[in-house]
Amino acid sequence: MKADAAIAALGALAQEHRLALFRLLVQAGESGLAAGMIAETLGVPNSSLSFHLAQLREAGLVLQERQHRSIIYRANYPAMNALVAYLMENCCAGAADCGAGAACETPAQERKSA
Amino acid sequence: MKADAAIAALGALAQEHRLALFRLLVQAGESGLAAGMIAETLGVPNSSLSFHLAQLREAGLVLQERQHRSIIYRANYPAMNALVAYLMENCCAGAADCGAGAACETPAQERKSA
DNA sequence: AGATCATTTTGATAAAGATCGAAATGAAAT
DNA sequence: ATTTCATTTCGATCTTTATCAAAATGATCT
């Protein structure tokens, strides 16, 4: 991942509605959600939501696909994981007590180690 | 973690110099780096860098501590991990094929499963 | 105490992003 | 082919953010 892509992704997530929207899609899973459904759930006007969806899509964080009359949006999980990996890249310069049990470990990893 | 804190953290990271700065600190580990050293490394004027450091500090992503004449900055690893956890919270609504082997798994987790 | 050094605040300017109603687009259904 | 429905683009306004030189701060060393 390059810096520009990471900045775009982080900037896309750094906004109230877009963050809520992305988390909604992350939790929705592979089946995704229709744009209109999302707008209703978040209580945001359609035009505003469309703007935010475009931001997330341009940042590569969501994927879109037409299904019947609606357009379905899904979280792009690999992109999310790449972003996280980029943030933590070479954490603590590879010190021994870093990855295994302390600083550079996500909650999910902790559960596995414990 | 609350949404406001996550937005602040993401917004703090969504900027060229601050992202480079934070990754520098993540890689530097617990010993941290002095403000002046960072400014020199990144090629950013002191006043600009101070502004960016303040943003990251207010967002809770870095910690500061005086050491002799310099002020040392360190990455706040728990804050970073909390942010990542917030993004991935309840990923795929707990579907079986999500956490274990596919979508909602960071590269680090994949290594452990493999 | 006074000098020195690293960092932060100020202030003014320039650039980017958010909001939402109304109009336009574009595909699917009848 | 025409209607219908979901979503996107436009346009105008407002708020937020980035930049950096110069001055101010604030702690350390002599």
CATH number assigned to the domain comprising residue A112: 1.10.10.10
**Average pLDDT of B28-55?**
95
Q: Is the pLDDT of residue B49 over 80?
A: yes
Pick from A71, A20, A13: which is nearest to A42 by CA? Answer: A20
Tell me which residues from 51 to 80 on chain B have a beta carbon below 7 angstroms from nucleic acid strand D: 51-52, 55, 66, 68-69
A-B contacts (CB, under 8 Å): 138
**Average pLDDT of B13-36?**
96
Domain count, chain B: 1
Pick from B70, B111, B94, B12: which is nearest to A87 by CA? Answer: B12
For residue A23, give its domain range.
Answer: 1-114
Give the separation between CA A23 and CA A17, rounded to whole angstroms. Answer: 10
Question: Distance from residue A38 (CA) to nucleotide C17 (C1'), in Å?
Answer: 22
Q: Using one digit for the tens of pLDDT, what is the confidence trace for A80-110?
A: 999 999 999 989 887 767 765 567 776 555 5
A7 → closest Cβ in B14, B88, B90: B14
Mark the nucleotides of strand D covered by protein, meaning any atom under 7 Å from a CB: 5-10, 17-23, 26-29
Q: Is the pLDDT of residue B114 over 50?
A: no
Task: Give pLDDT, residue B98.
Answer: 74
Task: Please give the residue of chain B at the shortest CA–CA distance from A7.
Answer: B14
Evaluate whether B61 touches B18 at the Cβ level (below 8 Å). Answer: no
